Structure 1
Amino acid sequence: MPVPRGHHVMTRSLLRDEAYRAIRDAIVDGTLAPGERLLDTELVEWLGVSRTPIREALARLEQAGLVRSKPGRYTIVAPLDVRATREAQSVAAALHALAVREAAATLTDVELTSMREANQRLAEALRTGDVDGALTADDEFHAVPVVAAANETLRTMLDQVTPLLRRVERVRFATLAGRSSVAQHAEIVELCASGDVDGAAAATRRNWETLGRLLTAEARGEDAGSTT
């Protein structure tokens, strides 16, 4: 699909970050398809900003593996790279497990309730086929221990690897393969609540490793919805 028409209003103080998020989300949800050329002029018109934040956003997206460019020739939406995405998935699984390991013993009742409520929203979004809602709820669930861990290096590394996983996560929550996440999340919360740090970290790693099966199906050209 072409770059959306009309103006996407942004606050001036966050132009670069908002341009990054807008283009990233359009790539993840398929609005901008793999192989599609990204022209500065079209992105400037769509987002209503100058070329500088656009170019900074594209450079960041290229670093994240969502964009490819050849200076002076083209910038395109990168095709799904199964190997690179699998590597990102392995790193994300380890980082989220580390976040839970660092935070599990000190999570408050309020934080545990926030995780349970996010998981309820995930279950409802999956029930109604709301993929965007499922992605948001999943992010909110995992964000609780990440924030509670208060490890800025961990958060920075997750910001680097997570964008490449969005496409696969969207597939997971658009199919029956996503249903298992609700039960896995519930297990993580209860292990945290009981003080089982090792168990909670292991359960978190298993939850993120489910993406690996979807990547295997993608590499084989299989129906991701059949993944269990």
Structure 2
Amino acid sequence: MSLAPVARPASLRDHAYAALRDAIVSGRLEPGARLRDSELEEWLGVSRTPIREAIARLEVAGLVRTRRAKATEVAPLDEREALSAQRIAAALHELAVREAVPQLTASDLDAMRAANARFAEALGASDVEGAVTADDEFHRVAVDASANPLLGTLLEQVTPLLRRLERARFSSLAGRDSVSAHARIVELCTAGDVDAAASATRENWLTLERLLTHPDPA
């Protein structure tokens, strides 16, 4: 395993979790890669305790698995699990928008438009990482505006698993459909149409299943 060193924040446990999660989701740590404590300690610059705590969280999220003899490795990419996570994420984001729309400010709506512009730009440049980041930023506006503290925690349990598979969508032309879908969501939020905005958000999150069932021939 050869990864660039990362800076250490105040919370070593969260630092270890976020670094490992991002490396797995991005594919820098491939399915089946062994996660050895000594190598992780050197890479992350933290002790074994926060690393084992991070791995326990990642195992709950379905990103790592412990085999016999306590060998820990990155979990294989399981489309069925990812699609199950997607359905949960769709429902949670639908709830976020339903609760957020009455509270969205002009600044929130501007933030959504700006995130969508970055999303479109990243897709145009075939920048997968940028597209994923911008998409997260777009949907995070409603999650934060909902003021529901449980939504972020629950989404953290399912989103990383989904993102591993969702990268394939952003690398295809079909991913560009989400730009117009985002714009429609902003339009409905601006109009204060709670039901329509929530429904559009749910459909936006369910596109991956459709793309896997009917992949882009290009």
The residue number in structure 1 matching 2:60 is 63
Distance of 2:92 and 2:28 partners within structure 1: 29
Which of the numbers 96, 104, 109 marks the counterpart of 1:99? 96
Amino acid at match of 1:171: A
**Aligned residues between the structures:** 218
Q: CA deviation at 1:225?
A: 4.1
The unaligned stretches of length 5 or more in structure 2 are none
Q: Which moved more, 1:64-73 or 1:84-93?
A: 64-73
Moved over 6 A (4+): none
Q: CA deviation at 1:72?
A: 3.8
User: Is the 2:79–2:165 Cα contact (8 Å) retained in structure 1?
Assistant: no
Q: CA deviation at 1:94?
A: 0.4
Which of the numbers 26, 31, 34 marks the counterpart of 1:29? 26
Distance of 1:183 and 1:70 partners within structure 2: 43
Amino acid at match of 1:7: P
Distance of 1:71 and 1:56 partners within structure 2: 19
The residue number in structure 1 matching 2:16 is 19
Distance of 1:145 and 1:169 partners within structure 2: 20
The unaligned stretches of length 5 or more in structure 1 are 218-223
Distance of 2:151 and 2:22 partners within structure 1: 22
Distance of 2:6 and 2:139 partners within structure 1: 28
User: Is the 1:168–1:215 Cα contact (8 Å) retained in structure 2?
Assistant: no
Q: CA deviation at 1:215?
A: 4.1
Which of the numbers 139, 142, 146 marks the counterpart of 1:142? 139
The residue number in structure 2 matching 1:172 is 169
Structure-1-length-normalised TM-score = 0.91
Distance of 1:167 and 1:186 partners within structure 2: 24
Which of the numbers 188, 193, 197 marks the counterpart of 1:196? 193
Distance of 1:27 and 1:72 partners within structure 2: 22
The residue number in structure 2 matching 1:48 is 45
The residue number in structure 2 matching 1:10 is 8
User: Is the 2:33–2:74 Cα contact (8 Å) retained in structure 1?
Assistant: yes
The residue number in structure 2 matching 1:221 is none
Structure-2-length-normalised TM-score = 0.95
Q: Which moved more, 1:125-134 or 1:63-72?
A: 63-72
User: Is the 1:19–1:57 Cα contact (8 Å) retained in structure 2?
Assistant: yes
Q: Which moved more, 1:25-34 or 1:138-147?
A: 25-34
The residue number in structure 1 matching 2:126 is 129
Q: CA deviation at 1:214?
A: 3.7
User: Deviations 1:8-57 (Å, cap 9, x if unpaired)?
Assistant: 2202x211111111111111111111111111111111111101111111
Superposed CA RMSD: 1.5
